[in-house]
Amino acid sequence: MEVCTLSKVSKKVAGLSLAGALVISSIGLTSLKENVQAKDKQKEPTNVIMMVMDGTSAGATTLSRWYKGDNLAMDEMMAGGMRTYSAESAITDSAPAATALATGNKSNDKYVGVLPSIVNSPGLDPVNPEDAYKPVANVLEGAKQLGKATGIISTSEIQHATPAGFSAHVTHRSNYGDIAEQQVYQGIDVVLGGGKEALSPGTTKNARQDGENLLEVLDENNYDIVESRDELLASKSSKIWGSFAPSALAYDFDRETMKPSEPTLAEMTKKAINTLNKDKDGFFLFVEGSKIDWAAHGNDTIGMISDTLAFDDAVKEALEFAKEDGNTMVIAVSDHGNSGITLGNMNTDSTYSETPVSAYIDPLKKAKMTVEGALSQLNSEKSNLKEVAALYGLDNLTTEELEKLNSSKNVGSDMTKMLADRANIGFTTGGHTGEDVFLYSYGPSRPTGLVENTDLAKKMAQFMGFDLEQLTNKLYMNAKEAFEKKGYSTRIDVTDPNNPVFVAEKGRQIVELPANKNIVITKTSKSTQQKEINAITVYNGDNFYISEQALKAVK
């Protein structure tokens, strides 16, 4: 690129680093329509739209841009970079990554919304051993306390690690039952994604073990429960729970063939914004493009491109709203890298400087589906293997390639490697990676520069008008300590291990606080009263944590 062209771009992209301008300019962008720093109209309410493309390295966004043949919506929002390490490791898992983004606290592998038990990453303060596993408040809960409408969207199960980090508190991300229950009792206004099986009892892997049917709870609380794109778009309700699949939604490239009734991520985002924006106090919305990470784990280049572009379409919807509104902060970021994807691989030689973009993109353009979608069409005898391989862009298989796939114990893995080789794409791993990721932001008070992942939670909270540490003290005090200060004797009832209850007794009064719910039950010899409060009760396996309001609800 000529220096003069880059100079023009740099002048027009206010606040961008040289690296950011280079990324935006990679396919010849020479101007932007408007400054990414929106004018703060100094009006209420403030809104925040937090968007996470899970497990997306810079190589995936670069490749997606070339594949699209035009700029990404995110390019206009380029603001800097973000460090992703956890409290214990240079390479993070999605659970502590989401915890950092949502609560402003680094945590440990598999922990969701709770403090770490191990801190050994340089520069971090140790955690008091008594505080290990303690729940910490997140930005969605802070928005809710201010009276704002709230929403979460995911293309995976809504109970998956990243959406869970913005809505729940558990010591292990696999605790779908507790996560689902907390999400329902949080009173979130709009919830859209997969994970229907975790809402009711059954025999499948993530079905509820506690006997509670959360679909009935949602119905009692006047949610419009929708299960298809048409039902979602037709809904007029201010409270919508969309469960579009038992587990995850389909990849965007596969949706038309496999699950045409599912909404796109952009459609879910637009619907959520329009619904939440009716609240006079403003809103907080979390949006995740989940399966970029899954595709990266499988080194599926097509899957990564599919859902990176779908995520970018959702960013476009958020950006258009924010430009019109003038007082909405939009953040888009990856929680961590994955796969080490590169343009160029181990076979790349000294001719790389003469290799055109088409050498990377043309082989990928032949694919009609992701590897997951293509393999869904494979019959048990593999008699249609050639046709399935062609769906993934592998036409004109050599005899050797066809024999390899026929004898393969992992057809999908071999197919992804063959296509990557044809497209000169490299991968270093099937796991997460620890590099910094790009940060995209828009709106008043938008974060810029190289930031810690924890900084984003604090920035969002500050913009909305609350302090996360103070909020934690308000929402998650130790129940035993709080009640015993008031003269109660306490115990934890785990008679039913799937439904633990905190019990406090004084005289003839018995107080019960069920785990994962926003309910306080007070019993006397004369009556039993049940009150709903504005926060959930959390049990981390050792201690119960309750809100100030729960304590005040007990007379």
- The C-alpha R_g of the chain, in whole angstroms, comes to 24
Q: Which two tokens stand for residue 255?
A: 């949706």
- Which of the residues 94, 235, 306, 547 is marked catalytic? 94
The H or E element spanning position 400 is helix 399-407
Nearest Cα to 277, choosing from 188, 149, 441, 166? Answer: 149
Other residues' Cβ atoms within 10 Å of the Cβ of residue 325: 18
Omega before 45 within 30 of 0, i.e. cis: yes
What does the DSSP assignment read for 93-137? Answer: -HHHHHHHHHHS----TT-BSB--S---STTPPPPPGGGTT-B--
What contacts 98, CB < 8 A, 6 or more positions away? Answer: 52, 112, 161, 162, 163, 164, 165, 166, 335
Buried b (16+ CB within 10 A) or exposed e, 532-546: ebbbbbbbbeebbbb
The pairing of strands 78-83 and 437-442 is antiparallel
**Which phi and psi (to 5°) does residue 2 adopt?**
-75, 145
| DSSP-derived 3-state class of residue 339 | coil
The C-alpha atoms of residue 130 and residue 472 are separated, in whole angstroms, by 15
Q: Tell me if residue 380 is catalytic.
A: no
Q: Which are the catalytic amino acids?
A: 94
